[in-house]
Amino acid sequence: MTNLEFQKVLLDLMDQGYGLLTETERLSHQLLWRVRSSRRGAGTVGWEGPRCGTFNSWARSFWGELWPEEWPASELVRWQILSQCLTGNPPPEPFVSDIPLVLAADECFETCLRYGIDPGKGDPGNRLVEWRRSLWKVLQEQLSALRLFHPASLTEHLCRYFTLHPEAVPKKVAVVGFEFSGYWETNLFRMMADGAGGRLLPLPAVEAKPRTLVYADPEQEIFGLLNELTSWARQVPLHELAVVLLDSRGYAPLLAKHFHDVFGPPLTGDSSAYNLVSGDTLTEQPLFRAAVLPLDFCVQGEHREQFYNLIRSPYYGYPARCNRALAQWDWQWREKGIDGGLSALIEAVPEKDRAVLPRAGVEFQEGFAPLLQQTQSASSWMSNLRLFWKQMQFPVLANERDQIAWKWLDELIGRFEAEFDGGPIGAGEVLSWLRAAAGRLRIELSGHEDAGIQVIGGLELRGLAFSRVWVPGFLADVIPQPPRSLPFLSSRERKMVQGGDVESQYRFGRHLQAQIPASCDEVVLSRPLMTQGGDPCLPSPFWPAEDQKIVGSSIPWRHEMPALQRARWVVDGLGGFARRWERDSAMRECVGNGPARDGEGRGGFPSGLYRLKNLGFPGEISISALESLLCCPGRFFLDHILGLEPLPETLRGLDPPTRGRKIHELLLLFGRKMTADPRCFELPLDALLDMLGQCVTDAGENDASVRCWPVEMKRLIGSPDAGIPGLLTEWLREEHSNFLNGWRWIMLEAGFDGLSLHDCPVRLRGRLDRLDFHPEKGCVCWDYKTGNIPGRTQVTEDLKAPQLPAYLLAIRRGLLGEAVDACGPLAAGYIALKSVKHLKHSIVIEANEEVQALLSRWEDAAAEALNKALEGDMTPLWAGDSCDSSCPFDCLCGMMMFDPDRSPADPAVLE
């Protein structure tokens, strides 16, 4: 018997006056829809609707109509009492009395009560089991004193009531499904069947061989699913198509994304193209995450990221009016290294930038003040949070999902104020309780389940009838599921619980597999060979491998895929290919098929494509700007001509530019103390290390506000007592050896300007880090590098690293003092200060007769690059060579195609 035939039997029972109790709302809704459809088709109407609903809703309603003396305890009340019980009943180590333990214990009690296990008694067990039993006894006493009981024992209470009042057992009730019901549910159903003319109807199971497909990965699997759905949609109504997600966590986001691309956003009512699987909790809604940002900001120690998320959140109407201006605040915080503290964050923003708000940021300080208290009552926390929301004009609702989420959140806050009574608690505890309670609330949109393609879970499919069903992700650990983690149950108790061991999970998986083909005549099972990360996927033990079909990979812009070729990203990609083909054709016509000719740039690109007039090139540039030009003219244009700066990345620890700048400042401070008194070079190593440590300490006092600088100080100095080397201490050991060999520092942070290159009007300016002198060996020019140092090839052959040649040329030209050039042979190199492991002094340009030839070649190459730039040639590196993928301007560089008659000041160019 198929599910469709089974539902006809159920409709006949309802016509006979039977009431139906189902496991899932989906089944009851589909049955009610069929009843209404049949009555409309027959032209019959009536005031009394069919009796059909879920067992859980009926049990709660029936118990409430009895006006009992005891009521089920709400979750907030249970959790609060449980947390109080933990004070006198601490768990065994390593468990701690926190909120996750409260939730785990409550879930354990719920499992025990459903499957007829007394949570407070049983055979001798381990320490966890005995602790659970003692905790339950205390909890039960507390609940009984308040005339409450655990909701999981509601079925047990109904059984005992019907035992005392058999005449109250509902008559003519058909219980549908529940093949794996709990202990008390089974007893109650037996009462309904034996004494009141009720019926127990198991769901049908069918042995069939569905179509099985194997894809390369989940995305390819979804591509195949979408194309079959569009084909099926031409044959049957949309609501008769179903996609069953056995692994909703892994497949639901991917499916939702591609459904949105192909069919557009989900609509409500009978206009829906699809109904996505329900089950998103309130904690997963953007509105909830925005709502708790004020508490999260206080709990996280007033961190910058939480505050920035709040002022940029679209759910807060007050700061949203100046959203673009507030985005600049984060730039100020990053540049100044401000990582937290409400007052520090507000005061770090210049007054002119704070003026975008009516009260220059004082609003935030006043709004947060009540939430920054250490402890207060739960009702005070909620009232202060509501006050902050009102001040910041929260919430701004965007759609139906936001409206439903706000409704649930408002009710949750009200329940929290009314039910969570007790002493003062902290903001972190309040936030944890709110998240725990919100995690139990399911957000379901008001769309019609009889409209659109149905996307449902594996358990929801049981009993439903469709025309076509697709089941993706048919993998091991999905069907059957792995055994449940039940740490508070003994081995005997786990065998009594569905899912407590491998055998019960296997039985349920086999049962679910047999019920899938009962849902329709045409079922497609599919699975991927690998995950999206490239890890292999194991098939389910129920997978029918003998008839499986391997499906080759498909590419939306290369193969015929009608569904995917409706997606916006595919349409734009195909359009981009067409435009690129047209552009390449025009280029081929322009340059021909032969060798490069005059007017043709590198890689076959016309040279005029990236040429500008009226460039406004500066008369003097820095050595770092020259390095950017030698590396890539396109990067030089974006960075040094247009002045664009990439937004700094948020990194854990000290960001590399700040670290490099601070190390240079430390070395300069220490170097000035050394050169102020020549006798310092003759001091023993211990005295020099003490001097260096004092410099680092002084810098630490000045830079205490810089994020993570105290930690970096320890890395620079190390720990001599623990035998941990420091970067600067090891550097000084090497320098001290040089002092003993007669080397002295004669110049620190020496700047120069006006360095000319022959046949080039642009001058260079720079600053060398250090110059060392030896009376016999001459001078060595050193450049500190806190990152990777350039290789010898980059400096002497490729001529892409200009610092050392430019410094030597400036010394030869007398720009750093004529006496320096008379000090004998000149060499240059790098001092690598990235880490202790990479610490070294590396001579790159040797002091020999080849230095002059190298400087001449470098001067020619630098002058040629500068002259091309003066002519407006800004051809990017990728136009004729491989490009550096780490370039911060890679997202802009590909769009640089200029009209030669325009200048960079033209707004059309800047677009």
pLDDT band (50, 70, 90) for residue 861: very high
Q: What is the pLDDT of residue 448?
A: 56
Indicate if the pLDDT at residue 1 is higher than 90.
no
Indicate if the pLDDT at residue 863 is higher than 50.
yes
Q: What is the pLDDT of residue 600?
A: 43
Q: What is the largest CA-CA distance in the chain?
A: 117
Per-residue pLDDT tens for 79-109?
999 998 998 899 998 888 888 999 999 999 9
Q: What is the pLDDT of residue 51?
A: 85
Find which of 199-208, 227-236, 859-868 is predicted with most confidence, using mean pLDDT. Answer: 859-868
Q: What is the pLDDT of residue 554?
A: 80
CB atoms within 10 A of CB 419: 17
Q: What is the pLDDT of residue 908?
A: 34
- At CA 481, angle to CA 477 and CA 486, rounded to 5? 120
- CA distance linking residue 120 with residue 136, whole number of Å: 6
3-state secondary structure of 754: strand
Q: Taking each helix axis as running N to C, give the angle between helix 685-702 and helix 656-676, from 0 to 180 degrees, rounded to the nearest 10.
A: 130
Q: Please choose, from the candidates 297, 303, 305, the residue with its C-alpha nearest in 3D space to the C-alpha of residue 392.
A: 297
Find how far residue 643's CA is from the centre of its chain.
Answer: 31
Q: What is the pLDDT of residue 420?
A: 82
- Choose the weakest-confidence range: 154-158, 484-488, 562-566: 562-566
Q: What is the pLDDT of residue 738?
A: 93
For the record, the structure tokens of 703 come out as 């830079």
User: How do 826-832 and 840-845 pair as beta strands?
Assistant: antiparallel
Q: What is the pLDDT of residue 860?
A: 93
Give mean pLDDT, residues 687-691: 92
pLDDT band (50, 70, 90) for residue 702: low
- Neighbour-count burial of 906, counting CB atoms closer than 10 A to its CB (0-12 exposed, 13-18 middle, 19+ buried): middle
Q: What is the pLDDT of residue 557?
A: 67
Give mean pLDDT, residues 362-383: 91
Locus of tokens 């070395």: 667
Per-residue pLDDT tens for 444-494?
665 555 678 888 888 889 999 999 999 999 999 899 999 998 999 999 999
Give mean pLDDT, residues 839-859: 91
Q: What is the pLDDT of residue 671?
A: 92
3-state secondary structure of 457: strand
pLDDT band (50, 70, 90) for residue 697: confident
Q: What is the pLDDT of residue 197?
A: 79
- Neighbour-count burial of 725, counting CB atoms closer than 10 A to its CB (0-12 exposed, 13-18 middle, 19+ buried): middle
Locus of tokens 């949105």: 260
Per-residue pLDDT tens for 250-294?
888 888 888 888 887 776 666 677 777 665 789 989 999 999 999
814 φψ region: left (φ > 0), alpha (ψ -120 to 50), beta (else):
left
Torsional sign, CA 98, 101, 103, 105: negative
Mark out the alpha helices in 149-267 (DSSP H runs): 154-164, 183-195, 218-232, 248-263
Q: What is the pLDDT of residue 110?
A: 94
- CA distance linking residue 280 with residue 283, whole number of Å: 8
Burial state string for 500-535 with b = 16 or more CB within 10 A and e = fewer than 16: bbeebbbebbebbbbbbbbbbeebbbbbbeeeeeee
- CA distance linking residue 152 with residue 137, whole number of Å: 16
Q: Are 148 and 70 in contact (CB under 8 A)?
A: yes
Per-residue pLDDT tens for 216-249?
999 999 999 998 888 888 888 888 899 999 988 8
Give mean pLDDT, residues 699-723: 72
For the record, the structure tokens of 318 come out as 């007050």
Q: Are 161 and 70 in contact (CB under 8 A)?
A: no
Q: Are 688 and 736 in contact (CB under 8 A)?
A: yes
Per-residue pLDDT tens for 300-311?
889 989 999 999
**Average pLDDT score over the chain:** 85
Give mean pLDDT, residues 519-523: 90
The percentage of the chain sitting over the pLDDT mark of 70, rounded to a whole number, equals 87
- At CA 684, angle to CA 678 and CA 688, rounded to 5? 70
- CA distance linking residue 108 with residue 152, whole number of Å: 11
Is pLDDT larger for residue 147 or for residue 37?
Answer: 147
Q: What is the pLDDT of residue 32?
A: 87
Q: What is the pLDDT of residue 822?
A: 62
- CA distance linking residue 495 with residue 116, whole number of Å: 12
3-state secondary structure of 749: strand
CB atoms within 10 A of CB 194: 10
Q: Are 438 and 281 in contact (CB under 8 A)?
A: yes
Mark out the alpha helices in 443-563 (DSSP H runs): 491-495, 502-515
Q: What is the pLDDT of residue 516?
A: 92
Per-residue pLDDT tens for 788-822?
899 899 999 988 899 999 999 999 888 887 666 66
CB atoms within 10 A of CB 724: 13
Per-residue pLDDT tens for 582-624?
655 555 554 444 443 344 444 445 555 677 777 778 889 999 9
The percentage of the chain sitting over the pLDDT mark of 90, rounded to a whole number, equals 43
* Secondary structure element (H or E) that encloses residue 274, with its range: strand 274-275
- Residue 36 makes CB contacts below 8 A (sequence gap 6+) with none
Indicate if the pLDDT at residue 411 is higher than 80.
yes
Q: Please choose, from the candidates 563, 620, 653, 887, the residue with its C-alpha nearest in 3D space to the C-alpha of residue 766.
A: 620
Q: Please choose, from the candidates 389, 181, 137, the residue with its C-alpha nearest in 3D space to the C-alpha of residue 287.
A: 389
- Residue 252 makes CB contacts below 8 A (sequence gap 6+) with 245, 276, 277, 455
Q: What is the pLDDT of residue 597?
A: 38
For the record, the structure tokens of 379 come out as 């009702």
Indicate if the pLDDT at residue 530 is higher than 60.
yes
- CA distance linking residue 119 with residue 646, whole number of Å: 60
pLDDT band (50, 70, 90) for residue 152: very high
